Amino acid sequence: MKNMTDKKELVKEFIQNRVNLSGNKIYDELKGKPFSIRKTDFYTLLREVRNLPEPSKEKKEQSIPIKYKVEPLTIKKAPKLKKEGQYGLVEVIDINNNSYWIKYDNKKSYERQLEKIKIHYPKLKRIKFHGFRDYTEFIDKEFKELLNEVGIST
């Protein structure tokens, strides 16, 4: 396998030989080659070879797919958890745009943490709900299989 610096040099040469093509077209040609690299690394090299500036923050935000741009909901009270093994994630924003995070697994936990925040920062602007997350299981598949082989059910 080629060294990563060798690959980068080959990619730089590949870019220099295709002056009239756009970055996307060059990347498409590069895809099947044995010295192809990750897309982000390719565009870093392209900017380096062609002396292009880094993309602006707005440009980077535009490139994020819509399904990942979902704006969190502004809420008054925390939604209840739907099933066991979940936790809710809430962002509390004060008037200075500082954010404080609450991770809760029941209503009492949420209210207790929110009260602590309100004591120190009484002027809150907004509370955003970032959805439910699942706790990852502590026991992995292989270990479960070993337990089942020995006769211990999980």
- Choose between 76 and 1: higher pLDDT: 76
What pLDDT does residue 47 have? 92
Does residue 15 come out as left (phi exceeding 0), alpha (psi in the -120 to 50 range) or beta?
alpha
What is the H or E stretch that residue 90 is in? strand 86-94
Cα(94)–Cα(74) distance, integer angstroms? 13
**pTM score, two decimals?**
0.45
**pLDDT tens per residue across span 75-131:** 777 788 878 788 999 998 888 888 899 999 888 999 999 999 988 888 888 888 888
The residue type at 89: L
Q: What is the share, in percent, of the chain residues with pLDDT greater than 70?
A: 91
What residue ranges do the domains of the chain occupy? Answer: 4-62, 73-134
